[in-house]
């Protein structure tokens, strides 16, 4: 079942020095429970695209259809609840003056989820679901490690039971051992809850191991879209090949694959 | 042959009225002339502070307690006077930082910052000589229009351009040792790959020794001759890049290596974030520390 369909979506910013076409005529879709990766360099329009999905930016033209209905420029509370965001840097996305529990609770209060008396219990369960002990809810973000903070970011996004999670570089600020655990957690949550992910990243090695399909953005345009298998076996676009060619690799098998894919057929 | 840089049982602790926080627990490493050495570790492992000690910057910090020796060309940096350490920076050793845009001063043009660097070595360098040097150095880092770049402010240039300007400045006075702290991490992968291959080429040409600090194992593999792996202020494994990547021996290095996602799609292994085995004694792949 298709959960999200994007039709001819564009975003143009008018600046003093003329218009900037951040996203140009992008059409794609994501199924229920699917992980669609969006890759591209900085300035390729990945984050602008995500902001339009989240309703934080109005599209210049085009349409976003979610769960069979076109999303309106002013989102209903229900639509806002259904699409949630996990940001790159959990230290700056969590309010430093709130306890982590209060940050998660704010989502429940905003969306009026469950009755008030039980909300702290719900907060604790939400934290436990991402591997943070419930009694840590009174801690401040500053007393947590980077990986724990990102877990809180995920718990907060999941607290209002979204169906689609937009993950904007969720692991690029983390160490590799921590990244491995967070990626496993994301995989498991997706499986357990039937979530769909829009996974924005520039790290193709992460994409290879987590995504079902990959969309490659270059200067606001969608230049290639395919299953992860296809992209990493027969990349069609020259830009996709150059991105794969730039990935730093650690073992011989990877090196062989990179050398094979990076050359123009 | 004596190495260019030899660190012996370097320790570091930060202290305040209430706490004494050890950061480095006696690390030793050496870099030969013209050698490219990598120091790999996670955040908080002590890699950046090591670079700052070599540069003689941390010695100026009152809360830092430093022990051990840092021999650079037969002189101990820890035992030097402040002015002697300052004289080394920007001449015999220089540094490239992670984020080029924030390490250049946004209120000065590239030209005025570059002139300052050149005059550290030769104080009475004339304007004309400066221009000539700067243009040839910028051409060396393949900047297409050096005259325009010299008049520009850092915020008018892209991240990749700024990084090349930083490399040109860092190599301007033909340093013997270049410290590179996560260069390219703030850049896009393709720009990062270009920048690194450029740096590789230049340091080989100039016979500059490099201490390359990074958390990215893939980048290290392509750049370094030898690798030291640091974990919580201790060197846990060291050896030639080839043998360390072919067969990591220390439990921490093994976990680190397994955790790197592969483009071959080998899945996401179940690894602990921390483990007691990571504190096992150091392993060597032969050679001296």
Is A112 within 8 Å of chain B by CB?
A: no
CB contact under 8 A, B263 and A254: yes
Specify the pTM: 0.88
Average pLDDT for B83-106: 90
Residue with tokens 């499986």: A191
Average pLDDT for B27-34: 94
**Which of B188, B256, B267 faces A202 most closely, judged by CB atoms?**
B188
Residue B14 in tokens: 């930060």
* pLDDT tens-place string over residues A135-180: 999 999 999 988 999 999 999 999 999 999 999 999 988 889 999 9
Q: Which of B72, B30, B77 is nearest to B56 (CA)?
A: B77
CB contact under 8 A, B263 and A232: yes
How many domains does one find in chain A? 1
User: Residue B287's pLDDT is what?
Assistant: 62
User: Residue A118's pLDDT is what?
Assistant: 92
Question: What sign has the CA pseudo-torsion B254, A183, A211, A44?
Answer: negative
The DSSP call for residue A246 is T
With H, G, I as helix, E, B as strand and everything else as coil, classify residue A146: helix
Residue with tokens 């004289």: B87
**Right CATH number for B5-92+176-284 from 3.40.50.1240, 3.40.50.300, 1.10.730.10, 3.80.30.20?**
3.40.50.300
Of the listed ranges A80-89, A165-174, B279-288, the one predicted with least confidence: B279-288
Q: Which of A74, A42, A78 is nearest to A218 (CA)?
A: A42
Q: How many contacts, defined by CB atoms under 8 Å, are there between A and B?
A: 106
Q: Give residue B127's Cα distance to chain centre.
A: 31
Residues of B in contact with A258 (CB under 8 A): 263
Range of the domain at A253: 2-263
Question: Which residues, in sequence order, are CB contacts of B18 under 8 Å at separation 6+?
Answer: none
Average pLDDT for B214-241: 93
Domain ranges of chain B: 5-92+176-284, 102-174
Per-residue burial over A14-31, b if 16 or more Cβ lie within 10 Å, else e, is eeeeeeeebbbebebebe
Is A183 within 8 Å of chain B by CB?
A: yes
Give CA–CA dist A3/A163, Å, rounded. Answer: 9
Average pLDDT for B113-141: 92
Q: Give residue B153's Cα distance to chain centre.
A: 25
Question: Which residues, in sequence order, are CB contacts of B109 under 8 Å at separation 6+?
Answer: B150, B151, B152, B153
B267: left (phi over 0), alpha (psi -120 to 50) or beta: left
Q: How many helices (H) and strands (E) does chain B have?
A: 11, 11
Residue B126 in tokens: 């004339």
User: Residue B288's pLDDT is what?
Assistant: 55
ipTM: 0.85
Q: What angle do CA B201, B239, B39 make, to 5 degrees?
A: 60
Give CA–CA dist A186/B39, Å, rounded. Answer: 30
* DSSP 3-state percent helix, strand, coil across chain B (nearest 5): 40, 25, 35
The DSSP call for residue A131 is T
Of the listed ranges A42-46, B69-73, B173-177, the one predicted with least confidence: A42-46
Is A61 within 8 Å of chain B by CB?
A: no
User: Residue B186's pLDDT is what?
Assistant: 72
CATH number at residue A250: 3.40.50.300
């Amino acid at each position: 079942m298709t959960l999200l369909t994007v039709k001819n979506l564009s975003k143009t910013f008018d600046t003093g020095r003329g218009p900037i076409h951040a996203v140009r005529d992008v059409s794609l879709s994501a199924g229920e429970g699917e992980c669609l990766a969006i890759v591209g360099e900085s300035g390729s329009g990945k984050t602008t695209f995500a902001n339009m999905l989240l309703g934080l930016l109005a599209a210049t033209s085009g349409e976003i259809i979610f769960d069979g209905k076109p999303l309106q420029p002013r989102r209903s509370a229900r639509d806002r609840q259904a699409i949630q965001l996990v940001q790159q840097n959990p230290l700056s996305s969590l309010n430093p003056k709130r306890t982590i529990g209060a940050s998660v609770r704010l989502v429940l209060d905003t969306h009026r989820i469950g009755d008030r008396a039980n909300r702290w219990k719900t907060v604790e369960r939400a934290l436990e679901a991402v591997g943070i002990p419930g009694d840590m809810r009174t801690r401040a973000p500053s007393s947590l490690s980077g990986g724990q903070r990102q877990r809180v970011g995920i718990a907060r996004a999941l607290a209002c039971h979204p169906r689609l999670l937009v993950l904007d570089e969720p692991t690029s600020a983390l160490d590799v051992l921590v990244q491995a655990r967070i990626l496993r957690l994301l995989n498991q949550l997706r499986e357990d809850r039937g979530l769909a992910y829009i996974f924005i990243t520039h790290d193709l090695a992460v994409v290879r191991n987590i995504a079902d399909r990959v969309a490659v953005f270059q200067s606001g345009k969608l230049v290639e879209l395919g299953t992860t298998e296809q992209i990493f076996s027969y990349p069609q676009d020259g830009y996709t090949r150059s991105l794969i060619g730039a990935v730093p690799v650690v073992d011989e098998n990877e090196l062989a694959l990179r050398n094979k894919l990076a050359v123009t057929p | 042959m004596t190495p260019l840089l030899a660190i012996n049982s370097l320790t570091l602790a930060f202290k305040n009225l209430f706490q004494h926080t050890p950061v480095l627990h006696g690390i030793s490493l050496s870099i030969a002339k013209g050698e490219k050495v990598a120091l790999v570790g996670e955040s908080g492992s002590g890699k950046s502070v090591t670079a700052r000690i070599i540069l003689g910057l941390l010695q100026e910090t009152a809360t830092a307690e430093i022990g051990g020796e840092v021999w650079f060309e037969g002189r101990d940096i820890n035992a030097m006077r402040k002015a002697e350490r300052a004289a080394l920076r920007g001449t015999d050793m220089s540094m490239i930082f992670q984020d080029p845009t924030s390490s250049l001063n946004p209120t000065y043009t590239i030209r005025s910052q570059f002139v300052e660097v050149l005059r550290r070595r030769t104080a009475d360098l004339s304007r004309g000589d400066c221009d000539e040097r700067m243009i040839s150095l910028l051409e060396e880092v393949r900047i297409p229009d050096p005259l325009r770049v010299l008049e520009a402010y850092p915020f008018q240039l892209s991240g990749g351009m700024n990084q090349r300007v930083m490399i040109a400045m860092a190599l301007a006075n033909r340093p013997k040792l270049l410290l590179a702290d996560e260069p390219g991490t703030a850049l896009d992968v393709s720009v990062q790959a270009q920048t690194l291959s450029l740096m590789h080429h230049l340091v080989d040409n100039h016979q500059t020794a490099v201490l390359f600090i990074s958390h990215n194992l893939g980048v290290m593999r392509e750049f370094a001759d030898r690798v030291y792996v640091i974990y919580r202020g201790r060197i846990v494994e060291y050896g030639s890049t080839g043998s360390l990547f072919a067969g990591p021996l220390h439990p921490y290095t093994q976990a680190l290596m397994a955790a790197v996602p592969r483009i071959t799609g080998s899945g996401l292994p179940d690894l602990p974030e921390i483990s007691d085995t990571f504190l096992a004694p150091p392993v060597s792949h032969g050679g001296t520390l």
